[in-house]
Amino acid sequence: MDQNTGVKIREVMINVTRQQVEDFHGPEDYWCLCVAWSHLGTSKSRRATVRIAYLRKNFEQDPQGKEVPIKGMIVLHCRPPEGVPMAKVEWLKNEELVSALEDDNIDTRADHNLIINEARLSDSANYTCLATNIVAKRRSTTATVVVFVNGGWSLWTEWSSCSVNCGRGVQKRSRTCTNPAPLNGGAFCEGMSVQKIACNAVCPVDGVWEEWSEWTMCSAQCERQRWRECNDPPPRHRGKMCEGEGQSTENCTGGLCTQNGKLMHDVKPQSMENSMDVALYSGLAAGVIAVVVLIVAITLYRKSQSEYGVDVIDSSALAGGFQSFNFKTTRQGNPLLLNSSMQPDITVGQTYSSPICFQDSIDKELFDPLPDKVKVQSSFMVSLGVADRAEYHVKAHPQTLPANLHPNYSMVEGKKTATMAPNGLHTPGKIQLKTSAVFGHLGGRLVIPNAGVSLLVPHGAIADDTSWEMYMLINQGETSAQSEERCEILLGPEITYGPPGLSLSCPVAMTIAHCAEVSAENWNIKLKRQTKDNKWEEIMSVDDESTSCYCLMDSHSCHLLLDQPGCYALVGEPITDAAIKRLRIAVFGSMEASSLDYSLRVHCVDDTPHAFQGVVTAETCRGGQLLEEPKTLFFKGNCLSLQVSIQDIPQFLWSIKPFTTCQEFSFTQVWYSNQQPVHCAFSLQRHSAATNQLSCKISVRQVKGHEQILQVYTSVGENEKDTVPFFMQADCTVTSQTGAKAFKIPLSIRQRICTTFDTANAKGKDWQLLAQKLHIQRNLSYFTKQKSPSAVILSLWEARHQDSGDLDSLASALEEIGKIHCKSLPQSPDENETDFTF
The pLDDT tens digits of the residues spanning 641-686 come to 999 999 999 888 899 887 788 999 999 889 888 767 888 999 999 8
pLDDT higher than threshold 60 for residue 475: yes
Residue 806: predicted pLDDT: 67
pLDDT higher than threshold 90 for residue 513: yes
Phi-psi region of 791 (alpha: psi -120 to 50; beta: other; left: phi over 0): alpha
pLDDT higher than threshold 60 for residue 266: no
With H, G, I as helix, E, B as strand and everything else as coil, classify residue 263: strand
Please check whether residue 728 is in contact with residue 322, taking contact to mean a CB–CB distance below 8 angstroms. Answer: no
User: What residues contact 85, with CB distance under 8 A and at least 6 apart?
Assistant: 53, 133, 134
Residue 304: predicted pLDDT: 53
In this structure, of 314-318, 433-437, 453-457, the range with the lowest mean pLDDT score is: 314-318
Residue 432: predicted pLDDT: 61
Residue 783: predicted pLDDT: 86
Kindly report the length of the chain: 838
pLDDT higher than threshold 70 for residue 581: yes
**pTM check: above 0.75:** no
Burial of 599 (0-12, 13-18, 19+ CB in 10 A): middle
In this predicted model, which residue has the larger pLDDT, 806 or 49? 49
Confidence of residue 102 (pLDDT cuts 50, 70, 90): confident
pLDDT higher than threshold 80 for residue 35: yes
Confidence of residue 508 (pLDDT cuts 50, 70, 90): very high
pLDDT higher than threshold 70 for residue 303: no
The residues facing 580 across adjacent strands are: 636
The closest alpha carbon to 553, from 522, 585, 583, belongs to: 522
Dmax over CA atoms of the chain, in Å, equals 180
Residue 258: predicted pLDDT: 54
Whole-Å CA distances, 563 to 426, 498, 550, 720: 33, 11, 10, 52
Q: pLDDT digit string (tens) for 332-369?
A: 444 444 444 333 333 333 333 344 455 443 333 323 33
Residue 185: predicted pLDDT: 84
Please check whether residue 551 is in contact with residue 560, taking contact to mean a CB–CB distance below 8 angstroms. Answer: yes
User: What residues contact 385, with CB distance under 8 A and at least 6 apart?
Assistant: 738
In this predicted model, which residue has the larger pLDDT, 554 or 264? 554
Confidence of residue 472 (pLDDT cuts 50, 70, 90): very high
DSSP class of residue 623 equals T
Residue 341: predicted pLDDT: 37
Confidence of residue 630 (pLDDT cuts 50, 70, 90): very high
Residue 145: predicted pLDDT: 93
Peptide bond preceding 233: is omega within 30 degrees of 0, i.e. cis? yes
Please check whether residue 384 is in contact with residue 738, taking contact to mean a CB–CB distance below 8 angstroms. Answer: yes
Q: pLDDT digit string (tens) for 395-436?
A: 333 333 333 333 333 333 333 333 333 333 344 444 468 899
- How many whole angstroms separate alpha carbon 699 and alpha carbon 73? 52
Please check whether residue 674 is in contact with residue 431, taking contact to mean a CB–CB distance below 8 angstroms. Answer: no
Mean pLDDT across the chain, nearest whole number?
76
Residue 440: predicted pLDDT: 92
In this predicted model, which residue has the larger pLDDT, 482 or 797? 797
Residue 696: predicted pLDDT: 93
The mean per-residue pLDDT over the stretch 17-46 comes to 83
The closest alpha carbon to 673, from 644, 714, 652, belongs to: 644
The mean per-residue pLDDT over the stretch 305-333 comes to 35
The mean per-residue pLDDT over the stretch 456-461 comes to 92
Percentage of residues of the chain with pLDDT beyond 70: 74
pLDDT higher than threshold 50 for residue 604: yes
Confidence of residue 818 (pLDDT cuts 50, 70, 90): confident
The mean per-residue pLDDT over the stretch 7-27 comes to 80
The mean per-residue pLDDT over the stretch 67-90 comes to 90
Please count the helices (runs of H) and the strands (runs of E) in the chain.
10, 48
The CA-based angle 615-619-622, given to 5 degrees, is 150
In this structure, of 150-164, 424-438, 692-706, the range with the lowest mean pLDDT score is: 424-438
pLDDT higher than threshold 50 for residue 1: yes
In this structure, of 155-159, 430-434, 620-624, the range with the lowest mean pLDDT score is: 430-434
In this predicted model, which residue has the larger pLDDT, 32 or 427? 32
136 φ, ψ to 5°?
-160, 180
pLDDT higher than threshold 80 for residue 709: yes
Percentage of residues of the chain with pLDDT beyond 90: 25
The closest alpha carbon to 525, from 548, 554, 496, 501, belongs to: 554
pLDDT higher than threshold 90 for residue 281: no
pLDDT higher than threshold 90 for residue 146: yes
Q: pLDDT digit string (tens) for 558-577?
A: 999 999 999 999 999 888 88
The mean per-residue pLDDT over the stretch 165-183 comes to 88
pLDDT higher than threshold 90 for residue 325: no
- How many whole angstroms separate alpha carbon 178 and alpha carbon 150? 10
In this structure, of 381-385, 548-552, 598-602, 647-651, the range with the lowest mean pLDDT score is: 381-385
The mean per-residue pLDDT over the stretch 449-459 comes to 91
Residue 103: predicted pLDDT: 80
User: What residues contact 8, with CB distance under 8 A and at least 6 apart?
Assistant: 1, 2
305: Cα separation from own chain's centroid: 39
- The alpha carbons of the chain give a radius of gyration, in whole angstroms, of 45
pLDDT higher than threshold 50 for residue 736: yes
